[in-house]
Structure 1
Amino acid sequence: MNALPPRGKVVLAAEGIGISFGGLRALDGVGFSARAGEVLAIIGPNGAGKTTLFNITSGLYRATEGRITLDGVDVTDASPHRLAALGLSRSFQNLQIFFRMTAAENVMAGRHLREGSGLLADLFRLPAARRANAATRDAAMALLEEVGLAAHAGTPAGGLPYGALKRLEIARALATDPRVLLLDEPAAGCNPVETEEIDRLIAQVAARGVAVVLIEHDMKLVMRISRHVVVLNQGRMLAEGTPEEVRANPEVVAAYLGTHGAREAARGTADA
């Protein structure tokens, strides 16, 4: 299990990230710092480069400029598998769930990097493999309990409501014992009740000491649970600061929030 760093310590940092696709400059000089036990939100209009930044941070894309460090170690060119082993996990904007597998099996699938048994032990069902499988199931059940899905452990994922699937994906991401959790629009498509459940879950994860980096369009949620906010626009940094500072920034209001969004952000800040 990855030992979590002291609360407030910078765990993940991106500096001067840039990337182009053909003639399109998707990101230009973007950076952020994520701290243990805190929620960092990355917001901005569609096409601002938020998911591209996540794809670079999680090893799916290679930045043409800049540097990413995890616990002070340069991981700019690390593969997704290597980053996962080092303690970085993520969810995706579109559900990446095994719908024919049960909820428990989905979470167990996310636990494979933490299993100690080897291929031969699994093939011959040696005692070490049986112990590892039992430990994996126990860990999966604990995570399902944490996200409120323990009663559905044996339910095929395809039979779960949408909001439950969002929480299931977070549980699977947590199965790797991450130090850093990247969440790409975890509340997208959720109704108000489901959004509140996601809100509480993210706060619980951060309270454990995990550094959470969040992309989200729900401004009430962002302002309620974030410690720091980074705003992107057209691939560049538009603003950063506390939720209150970002909400009051006229450039952010003009480029992204608008009048309605500013009201929603204010409401979220008041609820925090």
Structure 2
Amino acid sequence: MSVLEVSDIGISFGGLVAVDGVSFAVEPGEVFSIIGPNGAGKTTLFNLVTGIYRPQRGSVALDGETITGLSPYLLVRRGMARTFQNLQIFFRMTALENVMVGCHLAERSSLLADLLGLPSVSRQNRITRTAALALLERVGLAAYADRPAGSLSYGVLKRLEIARALAANPRLLLLDEPAAGCNAVETETLDALICAIARDGVAVVLIEHDMKLVMKISNRVLVLAQGRRLAEGPPQSVRNDPAVIAAYLGDHGSREADRAQH
């Protein structure tokens, strides 16, 4: 069974059709990339899948159960997590504290226990801290645990966001331009991290403009243009599709994609 099934989904804003009848499915452990020119509807599609927007047509299913229009917090509880194109980091908190925030779904203490300062709260905080440290280790940031997030580089913050998303123990992880603003070394680190997450059985869906990264790590690629599906398939077939080259990749992007295969 597919982890994620999107069927004929669409939405308009005023007279503008932002996403027009898009369908796709993602399997466990798969890296599924969504590419296309600016304004193609990629982030809008993410917002429809993750409950930020309610679709005007079509449906979304997670593990075979319809979740269309559910609020984002309910989707997180059901196994979906995402990061955003613009960093959503608590800059005055440490890296560890940022990840601990993401662990709240697994916590068993109550508001009353927190107010009364019961021993169960201290026990839960220790459990949460241990879990957050393990997640920082998983993304290669254990050494930054006690550093204020505001002092960290952009590439490190991108991995920190992924660690916090993983704190929800998702089966489906959506990444909105994880490599944007990263240098070559940071992108290579993200490449390895995303592949490792997928090897653990998590389905990864990403929006990305770095064609070298997309073609290197993706199992399948969906190309959007003007809110519609232009092409879908393995990276090799997508990068050689004349319609994709004309609408998005162009000569430069095609060469970048070609280099990723070697």
TM-score (norm. length: structure 1): 0.95
What is the SS of the residue equivalent to 2:5?
strand
Q: Distance in 1 between matches of 2:184 and 2:244?
A: 25
Contact 2:53 2:69 in 1 (8 A): no
By how many angstroms is 1:269 displaced? 2.5
Match of 2:181 in 1: 189
Deviation of the 1:128 alpha carbon: 2.2
Q: 1:10 Cα shift?
A: 1.0
Q: Which residue of 2 aligns with 1:166?
A: 158
Aligned to 1:25: 17
Query: What is the SS of the residue equivalent to 1:148?
Result: coil
Maintained 8 Å contact 1:243/1:269: no
1:263 and 2:255 are equivalent in the alignment: yes
Give yes or no for the alignment of 1:238 onto 2:256.
Answer: no
1:65 is aligned with what amino acid? R
Amino acid at match of 1:83: L
Deviation of residue 147 (structure 1)? 1.1
Take 1:59 and 1:77, find their aligned partners in 2: how far apart are those partners? Answer: 5
Structure 1 ranges of 4+ moved more than 6 A: none
What are the residue-to-residue correspondences of 1:3-152 with 2, within 5 Å? 9-152=1-144
For residue 148 of structure 1, report the CA deviation from its aligned partner.
1.2
Please give the per-residue CA displacement for 1:137-180, whole angstroms capped at 9, x wherever unaligned. Answer: 11110111111111110000000011000100110110100010
Q: AA paired with 1:157? A: A
Matches within 5 A, 1:185-224: 185-224=177-216
Q: Which runs of 5+ in 1 are unaligned?
A: 1-8
Shift of 1:201: 0.6
Instruction: Report the Cα offset of residue 132 of structure 1.
Output: 1.6
Distance 1:233 1:65 in 2: 19
* 2:19 partner letter: L
Report the TM-score, using the length of structure 2 for normalisation. 0.98
* 3-state SS, counterpart of residue 261 of structure 2: helix
User: Identity across aligned pairs (percent)?
Assistant: 65
Amino acid corresponding to residue 50 of structure 1 in structure 2: K
Deviation at 1:113, TM superposition (A): 1.2
Task: Give the residue type in structure 2 aligned to 1:206.
Answer: A
| Secondary structure, counterpart of 1:269 in structure 2 | coil
SS of alignment partner, residue 10 of structure 1: coil
Q: Which runs of 5+ in 2 are unaligned?
A: none
Question: C-alpha distance in 1, partners of 2:231/2:83?
Answer: 25
The whole-number CA distance in structure 1 between the counterparts of 2:109 and 2:145 is 24
CA root-mean-square deviation:
0.8
- Alpha-carbon distance between aligned partners in 1 of 2:238 and 2:37, rounded to the nearest angstrom: 14
User: Could you tell me how far apart the structure 2 residues matched to 1:136 and 1:31 are?
Assistant: 38
